Structure 1
Amino acid sequence: MLVVFFGLVAVVALVGSLSATAAPELYTRFTLPSWAPSAELLGPVWTVSYLVLALAGWAYWRTDGETQGFALYGIGLLLNLLWAPLFFAGGSTRLACVDAVLLDFFVLMTVGLFYRRSRGAALLLLAYFGWLCYATALNVAIIALNDVR
């Protein structure tokens, strides 16, 4: 099952990667806040985040996790999958931001459900949630600092 979770998360990462081929160039064209990471750092951080996400799902599964927890986990995967196509391929930073806020909400709810069965899974998701909140704040800052839609 660990391979299944890595596979599911890899699909999300692949879709994001394919829709963000012009991401480094586009990212550097934006006026960014002083706390924005370099474009070179984003790929490795997202890779670690995806590994953490897969491990959290697997750790929860090992506890015979509840269907509701997996449903929220799946919604989170779908929202994550949509962000890069909206932001980069679709050119809609605002729609991507709405997606990011929804993703934050669903991941936080998932943390709560995972915590009831596996504190380890919840802590892994909490680390992922921290990165998502940072990425959402960056999305908001890009909207605020640039004339974008």
Structure 2
Amino acid sequence: MIWICFAIFLAACFAAGSTGSLFMPGDWYAKLRRPVWTPPNWMFPVVWTLLYVCMAAAGARVAVSDGNGIAMALWSLQIALNGLWTPVFFGLKNMRLGLIVLMLLWLSVALTMIALWMVDSVAGMLFFPYLVWVSIAGMLNLSVLRLNPDVAS
């Protein structure tokens, strides 16, 4: 049963991640000023793949556990917000709204991590790298916004 759950959660993760192929950074992003600490482009798909596996594993572990209602609701919220950021930032080219989405995503990931931890500590730990990465993404979004006030919307 847990492998079926894992496959379902992984599919949800990659569905959210598929927005990255629908809304590519393109020339608009390439022309923006970015901080020197911006991760290299190759790192994003590698990190997101690893994070999606961890997120799916965490979801699957808790899905088969008792008392999982809040954790599953929060898992659903965070994956929805995860899938929303790319269309907002790269599709709409709206850095301010993208930052708001990222702040909501960060909060939902933090709450999900706590809720998962309360059901299964390993599941909670599996969300920690995701929280770190979303923190980096938020700092990057804010930095790009500040470095490009003339382009920011």
| TM-score, normalised relative to structure 2 | 0.89
Distance 1:61 1:145 in 2: 42
Distance 1:78 1:18 in 2: 16
Distance 2:137 2:37 in 1: 11
Which residue matches 1:100?
102
Which residue matches 1:84?
86
CA contact (8 A) 1:28 1:39 kept: no
Which residue matches 1:4?
8
Distance 1:10 1:30 in 2: 27
Which one of 18, 38, 41 corresponds to residue 40 of structure 2? 38
Which residue matches 1:114?
116
Structure 1: runs of 5 or more not aligned: none
How many matched pairs?
147
CA deviation map 1:95-125 (0-9, x unaligned):
0110000000011011111111111110111
Structure 1 residues 7 and 119, CA gap change in structure 2 (3 angstroms):
same
Q: CA deviation at 1:16?
A: 3.0
Identity percentage over the alignment? Answer: 28
Structure 2: runs of 5 or more not aligned: none
Question: Considering only aligned residues, what root-mean-square deviation do their CA atoms show, in Å?
Answer: 1.4
| TM-score, normalised relative to structure 1 | 0.92
Paired residue secondary structure (1:107): helix
Distance 1:27 1:53 in 2: 28
